[in-house]
Structure 1
Amino acid sequence: MTEALFTEDAYLRDCTARVISADERGVVLDRTVMYARSGGQPGDTGTLRWDGGEAAVAEAVKGEAGAVVHTLAAGAAAPPVGAEVAVTLDWARRHRHMRMHTTMHLLCSVLPGIYATGNQIGAEKSRLDFDLPDPPTKEWLTERLAELVAAGHPTGTRWIAEAELEANPQLVRTLSVQPPRGAGRIRLVRIGPEAAPVDLQPCGGTHVRSTAEIGRVEVTKLENKGKQNRRVHFILPE
C-alpha cells in the first residue's frame, strides 16, 4: 500500500520515498505526493530521481491493494527496488486540476438536489454532467460561480465512518461513481464553514484551500447528452 500524502496535504510538491516494486507497469513507492487517476481527475505527472538516475512519470494510476503505480515515460529506466527516490510532481498541472476540481464542487452547490452523472477534469477545460432536464443558462452559471469564487470560501476535509454515510445518503451527489467502501471510513470535502457548508460531499480528489484561489471561471457551453443528461463545459481563463 502506498501512503497517499496528497490526501492530507494537497500542496505538497515533493517527497522522498522508497521503491517497493518496479516492473513494466511502473514503479510502486511506499509514499507519494502524486495523485493516482480516479474520479475524473487525471493522475499526476512529474519526476523520480535517485542516486545514479532519474525518470519522468507519465501518469500516476491506481494499482492493487491501495498501491499507486507511477507509470514511466517510454524508454525510461526504473529505479532499483529498495532505492530511495525524490518524487517531484508537475505542480503547475496539478494546481490547475485542483482549481478545476474545486469548481466542480461549486457547480454542484448551485444546483442543489441535482445529481452529477459524469465528469472529466482537465488542465485546460473540464466538464460536469447533471441529471437535469432544464438547465439554467451558461451566463447564469458563470455569474453564480463568480460570486462563490469572490467570497473566498475555505475548503477542508474530515473523515466519517461508512455507517455515517449510509445514514446520510444525501451526501452523495453522483450517480455514476460511488465512494469506495470497505476501508471503514469515508473522506468528506467541505467548502464553506463547518456549521453551514456551501458544499459537502465524499471526494478523494485534490482541492484548493480557498475558492478565491480558483480565479475566473467561464461556463462555455451546455450540451444535451440524453433525455435528462446535460453537460456543462467550463474553463479557467487566465
Structure 2
Amino acid sequence: MTKPLFLDDPYRKSASATVTALTDEGGIVLDQSIFYARGGGQPGDSGTLDWDGGRIPIATTVKGEAGAIVLVPAEANPLPSVGARVEQRLDWDRRMGHMRIHTALHLLSVVIPLPVTGGAVGAEKGRLDFNMPNPPEDPAVVEGQLNALVTRNLPVSVDWITEDQLDANPGLVKTLSVQPPRGAGRVRLVRIGEGAAQVDLQPCGGTHVARTGEIGKLSIVKIENKGKQNRRVTIELI
C-alpha cells in the first residue's frame, strides 16, 4: 500500500520515496506518493522521478492493487530498481490547475443544487453533468453566484467520518454516477466554509485549494443538452 501524501498536504511539490514494486506494464510503485492517482473525475498527476543515475518523466498516475499508487512513465526508459531511493517532483502548474478547478466544481454544485450525474476535472476547465430537465434561465446569474463564492475566500478543509455515519447521512453524496470509495472503514469529506458560513460538505478524495480565493475568476463556457434529463455545465479559469 502506498501512503498518499497528497491527502494531508496537496501543496507538497517534491518528496523522497522508496521503490517497492515495478508492475508488468512498466509502472513504478512507491512507499509514499505526492502524485494523485486518477479517480473521481480528476486526472492522475504528472512530473518527474529522479534517482542516482537516472531520471524519467511521469505521464500520469493510476490506482493499482491493494492500495498501490502506480506512476506511469511517459517514455520506455530504464526504470529504478526495487529498493532504490527516488525523488518525486510534481508538474506543479498542472496540479494547481486541477486543485482550482476541482474546488470550483464543488462550488458549482452549490449554486446548481441538483443531483450530479458525472464530471471531469482539467487544469484550465472542468464540467459537471446535472440531472436538470431545463437549463438555467440566465447562465450569467449562475456565473455571478459562482464567482461570488470564490471571492468570499472561504476556507477549504477536510474531515473524516465512518462509513456507518455516511450511511446515516446519504444526502452528503451529490454524485449519482460515482460513489465514495469504501472498504477502509472511513470516508473523507471536503468542507467549504465553516460554522454558519459553511456552503458545502461532500465526500471527495481529490486535491483542493486551501481557500476559494485561490481559484480566481471563472467563466461558464457553455451549457449543453446531454439527454432528456441531463445538462452539462462547463466552467473555465479566466
- Quickly name the TM-score band, shorter chain normalised: over 0.9
Equivalent position of 1:166 in the other structure: 167
Specify the SS of the correspondent of 1:58.
strand
- 1:7 maps to a residue whose letter is L
Equivalent position of 1:37 in the other structure: 38
Count of residues paired in the alignment:
236
Equivalent position of 2:2 in the other structure: 2
Render the CA deviation track for 1:88-139: whole Å, top value 9, x for unaligned: 1100000000000000000111122x11100111113211100011232321
2: CA distance between counterparts of 1:192 and 1:181? 26
- Residue correspondence of structure 1 range 18-33 to structure 2 within 5 A: 18-23=18-23, 24-33=25-34
- Residue correspondence of structure 1 range 1-238 to structure 2 within 5 A: 1-23=1-23, 24-112=25-113, 114-136=114-136, 137-237=138-238
Kept after mapping to 1: 8 A contact 2:127/2:233: yes
1: CA distance between counterparts of 2:129 and 2:62? 23
1:194–1:79 distance in 2 versus 1, CA, 3 Å: farther
Higher mean C-alpha deviation, range 122-131 or range 143-152: 122-131
Give the TM-score normalised by structure 2.
0.97
- 2:187 maps to a residue whose letter is I
Higher mean C-alpha deviation, range 124-133 or range 44-53: 124-133
Kept after mapping to 2: 8 A contact 1:138/1:220: no
Gaps of at least 5 residues in structure 2 are none
2: CA distance between counterparts of 1:57 and 1:168? 39
2: CA distance between counterparts of 1:128 and 1:76? 37
Specify the SS of the correspondent of 2:214.
helix
2: CA distance between counterparts of 1:140 and 1:76? 51
1:173–1:72 distance in 2 versus 1, CA, 3 Å: same
Specify the SS of the correspondent of 2:12.
coil
Specify the SS of the correspondent of 1:65.
helix
Please report how far the alpha carbon of residue 194 of structure 1 lies from its aligned counterpart in structure 2 after TM superposition: 4.0
Runs of 4 or more consecutive aligned structure 1 residues displaced over 6 Å after TM superposition: none
Please report how far the alpha carbon of residue 74 of structure 1 lies from its aligned counterpart in structure 2 after TM superposition: 2.0
Specify the SS of the correspondent of 2:109.
helix
- 2:92 maps to a residue whose letter is W
Please report how far the alpha carbon of residue 8 of structure 1 lies from its aligned counterpart in structure 2 after TM superposition: 1.0
Give the TM-score normalised by structure 1.
0.97
